Structures are given as structure tokens and as C-alpha cells.
Structure 1
Amino acid sequence: MTDQNKPMPVPDGDSNIFWQGCKENKLLIQKCSDCSKHIFYPRILCPHCFSEKIEWVESTGKGKVYSYTIARRGGGPAFKDEVPYAVALIQLDEGVRMFSNIINVDVEEVKCDMAVEVVFEDSGEFTLPKFQPAGISK
């Protein structure tokens, strides 16, 4: 069941492919064809070498918690029933970082450097990438 009061992503020309990948349970990130560095968040130029030769590649979906916080009060009425929840900056194995929630674990067990893997959560109109401790079944 989805809560229509929660804020949802607003896809644009740069991120449409990312959101379509999520719908297919694929975590897509960009890679520069000139300098070979991975890129996230989606954009039209490589932030490392300014090349326009950007391609979409599938991430392994694995990484580590770089940093996190535990929300003990909801970020608005739509989140009040979900507290406490963990919001983390995930460093993917490809080197890029992305914000997401850590799920399927007690928030008190979330730690920096904890190995995590992507899981996809259908929220109605969107499929959102979230992360759980590596190696557990959903």
C-alpha cells in the first residue's frame, strides 16, 4: 500500500533512464567513456573530465555505508509511522555515493562500513532503490 502523501521523485531528462532501470530492478549509474569513471547523480557531462561521452551501466548494487543518521521523528506527517528509520550515504563498489534508506535491519545495527546491497521497493508509481545488509534474504 502506498502513501500518496509522501514526496516522490520528479524524473527529468537526465534521470529518466535511472528510474526506468529501478522499475526493472536494475541499479543504473553512468560511466564516462573517456576517463572510465562512474558517475552518480545522472548528468550530461562527466564531472571528472567534462566529457559528453556518458553511458549507462548496471551497478553491482553492492557497497558500504559511508555515513548515516537515524530519524527518530518523522520528516513530516507521511513518515510518522515509520520512525525510527535509517538514512544513509552508500558508497557503491563502483565508487559513487548515493543517499537511500537502510531497511530489513534494526536501525541500531546500522554502522559505517557495513556491507549493503540494493533491494527495490515498489511504491506505486515508482520503484525506489533501498539497501539492506549484504547477504540477507528479503
Structure 2
Amino acid sequence: MNKVLLLLFIFLACACTSTHKIDSNVEFERLYAALKMEEILSSFGGEVNISPEKILSEILRDLPESQKRAFIESMPSTVMADTINVNAAKIIFKSKLTSLLTAQELKIAADFYSSNIGLKAHRAIIDAEIAVSESLN
């Protein structure tokens, strides 16, 4: 009986100490969902607002003001962009992330971006990148 209990104890100890293998595919999907990448990628197509003033002012700087104004006013303020293949973009995104991050790192990132502070940080980063992009144009 003692041997059975000892074997049972050893088995339980081994079971408790065995490490759970982290699946990088599962963790990628968690991270992808937490980042709301499907929504972000889907939003790239469709109508895009542009500023004719920003685009043409520098290019047309040598023209008389009346001609420059005529060109700027004739340009549309929105253009249609082709929608992107979200599935292809996801495959590329996954390939790049899984080549740069281990399964454990993907899990940590998914845990972080699934939290409220992670979502807030993600939105702040996107807003900052947009601000930088707009200021450089």
C-alpha cells in the first residue's frame, strides 16, 4: 500500500511540474484579436480623406496665387482606395510576428494587449503614429 501511495505521489508531483507547451498559433490568434487587426486591416480600403492644400501647395509654389488656388480647388478632397485582402495581410502579419517572437513572447503580448491598459497603449501608439505621419506630410 505504501508503494502505491508513493507511486501515486510521484505521479502527481510529475504531473504538477510538467510544463504546459505554449502554442504560438493560439497565442498569435489571441494577440491578433486583442489588437483588433481584422478591423484595422478592413478599414484601409474605401474612402480616404486627403488635403489638396497640403499636397499641392509646395508643388505649385512658383505659380501665381490665382492659378495655384484653381488647381487646389479642382482636386477632390476624397479618393477611393482599393480594399486589401485581409486574409493575405493576416498571413503576412502572422509570418512576421511568429518569426520575431517566441510562443512565450506572443503569450505575454496577447495577455498585455487583452488588458485595458494594453488596449489604451495600442490606441495611443496608433494615434501617435498618425500624428507623426500627418506632421511629416
Query: TM tier, shorter chain?
Result: under 0.3
> Looking at CA atoms only, which structure, 1 or 2, has the larger radius of gyration?
2
Q: Which has the higher helix share?
A: 2
Greater fraction of residues in strand: 1
